[in-house]
Structure formats: structure tokens, C-alpha cells
Amino acid sequence: DTGVSQNPRHKITKRGQNVTFRCDPISEHNRLYWYRQTLGQGPEFLTYFQNEAQLEKSRLLSDRFSAERPKGSFSTLEIQRTEQGDSAMYLCASSSPTRGGQNTGELFFGEGSRLTVL
């Protein structure tokens, strides 16, 4: 079990460029979440997948953000036309259902991908 893996760990880009982050969840975890975290704040929910289906997307999420999980395994989060306000840590987490078949709030997080937009 290698845990949740995210890359790149750090990305510095110029305003207006596109960036893509990748998340490899714990194998066989059916749910995958993306969060954003800024300094001194808790994680802000962006979106989540159950297998390959994107079940929820935050209303706060700009249409410049898109996420995919094409085969129900790894996921990518793309930010188009980056803005300085996009600078943050992007967190990925995964979970598996309990024996009762329900996913709970027990999440396994990666170390995050830090984005700096200049």
C-alpha cells in the first residue's frame, strides 16, 4: 500500500497558463476527492468521483477547473488560464466503503500539489 500519490508536488506557472495535477489513489478505493487549501484555512471541497463518475462539483468552482477519472483509478485536475487567486495547495483524498457499503468521512490524503501562479 503506497498511499495516495500526487504529482507534481510543486508547480510554479505564469498567469494565463494551464496546469494539470495528477492523483493516484489507494488501489481499490472507489471514491476520490479533490480539495483546495490556502494558508491558515481548512480544505475547501472541489469535487469528488465514485469510480469514474463525477458525482458532485462545488458551485464555487470556476469553469476553468475540470477534473477527470477516466478509468476509475487515477484522476487529473486541470486549471485553465490560471489566475493568481488559484495559488493554493491542491489536495487529493480517497476512500473505500465500509462493510455496510457506505463511504464515510474516513479519507486518506496525499501530500498535496502546491501551485504558485506568478
Partner 1 sequence: GNSVTQMEGPVTLSEEAFLTINCTYTATGYPSLFWYVQYPGEGLQLLLKATKADDKGSNKGFEATYRKETTSFHLEKGSVQVSDSAVYFCAPEDSNYQLIWGAGTKLIIKP
Residues making contact with partner 1 (CB under 8 A): 4, 40-45, 48, 56, 91, 93, 102-112
Q: How far is the CB of 44 from partner 1 (least distance, A)?
A: 7
Residue with cell 477527470: 68
Helices (H) and strands (E) counted in the chain, each on its own, are 0, 11
Nearer to partner 1, 50 or 80 (CB): 50
Nearer to partner 1, 21 or 48 (CB): 48
Residue environment code for 17-27, b if the CB has 16+ CB neighbours within 10 A, otherwise e: eebebebbbbe
Nearer to partner 1, 71 or 106 (CB): 106
